[in-house]
Amino acid sequence: MSQSVGYSSTPPSSSSRFSQPSVSSLSSPPTSLYSNPQHPSSSSSSSINTINNANSNPNRRESVRSSIQPSSLQQQLFGSSSNTNISGGGGGGSQYQPILDRSLNKSKGSEIALSAWAFMFAEIISYSQSRVDSVTDLEKRLSSLGYEAGQRILSLLLLRNTQTSNLKDPKREHRLIPILQFVHTQIYKYVFGKPADGLERGSDALDEYMIILNESPLTQFISVPKDMSDLSCEAFTAGMVEAVLDGLDVPARVTAHWVGDRYPEHPQRTVILIKLDQKVMDREEALGK
Amino acid sequence: MTIHGLWVISKAGGLVFSRSYSDTLPPQPVNTILTLAGILHGIHAITAKLTPAQIPGVPVGGLESFEAEGWGGKVFLTPTGTKFVLLHSLPQAGLDELLRRVYEIYSDAVMKNPFHTPEMPINSSLFESKLQTLIGGVNAA
């Protein structure tokens, strides 16, 4: 390898293209990715890096380059950080706009197929199922996933609502009933394409509300086996509703219950039960009618 | 036309689902149906090899239908190797469309169900109820 190090004069052979002066670590992302962890001191000049690496192990470097080269799904979605940083957005990989750089207001063309969701959700459930001991744990896992989704949905929806009203009349509900109606109508419409089929108050307890959906698009293909009949995969939706309520400062315990056995015409009917925190009830009472 | 029954045969040749939708054909024990499905699977594989003049570029299908006295069977092979077999009365019409609908229901209710294990018997109430609606409608017409 010694003759290829003399990059200053001789034209490089095919194996020594990394030691060309033109391909410095600044213009070539793979090189900089590789050499940075080996030489954390950024003060050392790039030419020294190049020589050291070319001397030490050119094969290893070749393998690193080839492992970076194919555009992975992650790169397509989020963009390769090294590429965008170094080339400044111009040049390669421009046909995939990173998901984080897309406009938040553009909802057209950003939908995905329901089947894609259904397959992914099915995989999530079978993955989670192999890592839990009980149905309760599984519901907890799904619920925490839904919570993550709900947090994002709330902030996105509030932002979009504000921007569609042209910043003139930004509105954020603060009373209990309008908040529940906001969940029932706007959140459900955004997530499922239609408002929920019912919003009811619990008959025996004042702090219980129910959001009813006859057929959820999220779980419409799932049929739970008989030995797990108390499992409701709508726990995901419950977690989502809980996050939205939390975000609007209405802490509550939200659970999903399948009641299809009592409604023959809607065998997938699910109730999202909202048990409000005492704090919310106290505040509502203080605020009055 | 009456649909007498539906079988779903996995790509390994095992019967993963069978339902009877009419009383015309005498009911068979499960073991007999399993054997019949296995034989059908074998015949299907053999017929795929028997094609006398293969057209280049066109995939070889194999057995598509069979007929007996008063009843027949229609075989639908999916790209993944799963076979749907409809047992029906004669004369028949519109079975291709019906089989496509069955395949659609299978894709929705079975393949998207996290509690289903591939190549294992189908145990989905949703699949059964959707099929009942579909085939019940055909039988009633």
The predicted pLDDT at position B40 comes to 92
> For A131-145, what is each residue's pLDDT tens digit?
888 888 999 999 999
Q: Which of residues 46-85 of A touch B (CB under 8 A)?
A: none
Interface of B with A (CB under 8 A): 108-109, 111-115, 123-127, 129
Please report which helix (H) or strand (E) contains residue A85, including its range: helix A81-87
> For A98-125, what is each residue's pLDDT tens digit?
777 777 777 666 778 888 989 999 999 9
- Greater confidence (B128 vs A68) lies with B128
Mean pLDDT over residues A62-67, rounded? 44
Regarding an ipTM greater than 0.85, the answer is: no
| pLDDT of A166 higher than 80 | no
CB contact under 8 A, B129 and A267: yes
The predicted pLDDT at position A79 comes to 53
Q: What is the CATH number of the domain that holds B104?
A: 3.30.450.70
CB contact under 8 A, A221 and B127: no
Q: How many domains does chain B have?
A: 1
| pLDDT of A200 higher than 50 | yes
| pLDDT of B128 higher than 70 | yes
pLDDT grade for A58, boundaries at 50, 70 and 90: very low
Instruction: Please report, for residues A2, A152, A167, A218, A250, the alpha-carbon distance to residue A148 in angstroms, rounded to integers and kept in the order given.
Output: 55, 7, 27, 16, 17
Instruction: Compare all CA atoms of chain B with the CA of A123 and give the residue at the minimum distance.
Output: B114
Contacts of B66 (CB under 8 A, 6+ apart): B72, B73, B75
Interface residue A222 vs chain B (CB under 8 A): yes
Q: Distance between CA A152 and CA A246 in Å, rounded?
A: 12
Which of B63, B8, B62 is CA-nearest to residue B34?
Answer: B8
**Could you tell me the two tokens for B115?**
């509690």
CA distance A145 to chain B (A): 17
Mutation target vs B (from A115, A223, A236; most B CBs, 10 A cutoff): A223
Domains plus CATH for chain A?
A: 2-99 (no CATH), 114-287 (3.30.1380.20)
Please tell me the pTM assigned to this model. 0.69
For residue A51, count other CB atoms closer than 10 A to its CB: 15
User: Which has the minimum average pLDDT: A146-160, A162-176, A224-238, B34-48?
Assistant: A162-176
| pLDDT of A195 higher than 80 | yes
pLDDT grade for A158, boundaries at 50, 70 and 90: confident
The predicted pLDDT at position A72 comes to 53
Which residues of A are less than 8 Å from B127 in CB distance? 223
Instruction: Compare all CA atoms of chain A with the CA of B108 and give the residue at the minimum distance.
Output: A221
Tokens 């969701």 found at: A117
| Domain, as residue range, for B53 | 3-140
| pLDDT of B16 higher than 80 | yes
The predicted pLDDT at position B41 comes to 92
* Mean pLDDT of the residues in chain A: 72
CB contact under 8 A, B126 and A122: no
The predicted pLDDT at position B140 comes to 86
Q: Distance between CA B112 and CA A69 in Å, rounded?
A: 34
Q: Report the percentage of chain A scoring pLDDT > 70.
A: 64
> For B100-111, what is each residue's pLDDT tens digit?
999 999 999 999
A vs B: CB pairs below 8 A: 38
The predicted pLDDT at position A74 comes to 54
Which residues of A are less than 8 Å from B123 in CB distance? 225
